[in-house]
Every structure is written in C-alpha cells, then in structure tokens.
C-alpha cells in the first residue's frame, strides 16, 4: 500500500470523504465522515496511505512538544 499526496489539506479531506461515501457512509447523520486519515508532510503537502496510493512514504512534518 502506497501513499497519495495532495497539495492541500482540503484535497486530502475531500478524497477521504469521497471514499467514505463510496463505502456507504459520509451522509449528514453518519458519525463516520472520512475513510482515511491524512497527515501533513515535511514539505507542507498532505498524504493518505491507501490501496490506490503509488507514492513511497513521505517524510512527515515534525510536531513540537508531542510525546
């Protein structure tokens, strides 16, 4: 499984939400609105690990003060 990389967080969020809808979720009253988790990369892009992903694992943004 690889990664899909997006230029903006909104694009990653929309991709995850579209997958939730495809899986029968993501409706207004559903608790589950997203299918995949997205994370910020070191270069300010956003990545999702998914079966459709073709990119290698990116370098992740370091978050200060996280234990």
Burial of 64 (0-12, 13-18, 19+ CB in 10 A): exposed
Q: Is the pTM of this model over 0.95?
A: no
The per-residue pLDDT for 67 is: 52
Q: Residue 22 and residue 8: Cα distance in Å, rounded?
A: 22
The per-residue pLDDT for 63 is: 83
Convert the pLDDT of each residue in 41-55 to its tens digit. Answer: 999 999 999 999 999
Residue ranges of the chain whose pLDDT lies below 70: 65-67
The per-residue pLDDT for 64 is: 78
The structure tokens listed for 51 are: 């079966």
């Amino acid at each position: 499984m690889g990664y899909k990389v997006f230029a903006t967080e909104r694009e990653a969020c929309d991709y995850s939400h579209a997958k939730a809808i495809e899986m029968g979720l993501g409706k207004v009253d559903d608790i589950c609105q997203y299918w995949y988790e997205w994370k910020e990369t070191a270069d300010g892009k956003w990545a999702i690990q998914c079966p459709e992903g073709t990119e290698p694992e990116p370098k992740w943004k370091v978050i200060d003060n996280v234990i």
